[in-house]
Every structure is written in C-alpha cells, then in structure tokens.
Chains A and B, each alone.
Chain A
Amino acid sequence: EVQLVESGGGWVQPGRSLRLSCAASGFTFDGYSMHWVRQAPGKGLEWVSSISWQSASIGYADSVKGRFTISRDNAKNSLYLQMNSLRAEDTALYYCTKGYSVVVPASPDYWGQGTLVTVSS
C-alpha cells in the first residue's frame, strides 16, 4: 500500500523558513517523480513543485520560484521542500504526492494527508 506521510508544518512568521519532509513507502520510490501541491484554507489546489526520479528535472510554480527548493533522498525514500522567505499567502495545507507514471511527465496519483503551514505574525 502506498503511503505518503508529511511532516514539518507549523506556524512561522513572515520572512522565516520552514522545511517540509515526506516519508514514502509501499512503492519503488526512486522510480517515480514526486510533487508538492498545496491548498489554502477554503481554496483550490495549487501545484507547487515537482522533481524527477533522479532529480535531473525540477519545476516550480512562479509563485514560489526562487524561494522554495525541492529535493529528494532516494536512499531514505524521502521528499523535501525547503521554504524560505515565507509569506502570508503561502499559508496552506501542503500535500506530498507521487507521479502516476515513470514514462511521461506525470501528475499526482497518490496523495498524503498533508501538513499545515501557517505564515502569520
């Protein structure tokens, strides 16, 4: 069974940093791309970032480019999101997700339960 468990969320002041982690199990982690997707309270889904299986291909939403950094450790079956210069508009539930395919640019199939990030003074 695929399991994605996020951690690292919490309350942080604007301008500060936070690092999210995602522990993956139940599939061959180093065979799939991974994504972070967020959802602000009461709002829709927003794709944040993705990383290919070997970290060779990385993409970011314009809203986080230059502030967030995605990374993975295939030896630890873990995905990370380093978030710097946080803003109030980054407040959201952050989901760790797995790409559905090893072949094409693959949007998420499995999702974790999310970790809540609140940016406020």
Chain B
Amino acid sequence: QSALTQPASVSGSPGQSITFSCTGTSSDVGNYNLVSWYQQHPGKAPKLIIYEGSKRPSGVSNRFSGSKSGNTASLTISGLQAEDEADYYCCSYAGNNTFVFGGGTKLTVL
C-alpha cells in the first residue's frame, strides 16, 4: 500500500484552469474506476468533490472535473477562484477492501 503520488504544490491566477495529477499503479488507479478527489481547507474536514473518476456530488461546482488515463488520475479546476485555495487529495480503491490516498497538493491562488 504505497501512497499515490501527487505534486506537493501548484499555483495559478484567478480565472485560469489548473490540473492536478495523481499517479498510482496498475493495482489501484489503473485497475479501478474508483478515484475520488477531496478538497480540504485549513482546520476543516475534507470535502468530496469528485468520485468514480469524474462524477460530481450534488452541490459541487461544475468548475471541478476529473479524468483518468492509465495509472494517472487528474483533477481540473477551471475559472480558478480565491476560495479554491486549499489542499487537494486523491484517493483510490486498491482492492481487498483497502483504499489509498495521495500525499496531497497545496493549491495557491496568486
């Protein structure tokens, strides 16, 4: 159970689009269409923003979108806003009733 690989930090300006990567293996990300993405603001509990790779829970802005290619999942935020500044985590099912998170990416809105 190795953590999924995410870049430590990304930054962007308001209005831009930004993409986060999440790299796993053929045992997790590559083997299941069960990648979720979470947004976490400082001092708050995480919030589910994408599940099953590309689906958005009710109430989540359509500025958030997800995709997957091979062993890498991606989260894109379009029309970046100041309120999007947060930590973002990916999570994948890894078989045998186990899950694995990525190390998280800190988004800075310039």
Contact = CB atoms under 8 A, between A and B. Distances in A.
A35 B40 CA distance: 18
Given A95-B45, A111-B46, A45 B101 contact: yes
B45 A111 contact: yes
Given A45-B46, A61-B1, A109 B101 contact: no
B55 to A, nearest CB: 9
B45 A105 contact: no
A53 interface: no
A54 B38 CA distance: 26
Contacts of B52: 104
Contacts of B36: 100, 107-108
A44 B48 contact: no
A62 B1 contact: yes
Nearest to A45: B101
A108 B1 contact: no
Contact of B102 (A44, A61, A100, A105): A44
B61 interface: no
Interface residues of B, number: 28
A112 B45 contact: yes
A59 B96 contact: yes
Contacts of A104: 34, 52, 93
A107 B99 contact: yes
A105 B97 contact: yes
A22 to B, nearest CB: 13
28 contacts: A35-B99, A37-B101, A44-B3, A44-B87, A44-B89, A45-B40, A45-B46, A46-B101, A47-B99, A47-B100, A59-B96, A62-B1, A95-B46, A100-B51, A100-B57, A104-B93, A105-B34, A105-B99, A106-B51, A107-B34, A107-B51, A107-B92, A107-B99, A109-B48, A111-B45, A111-B47, A113-B45, A114-B45
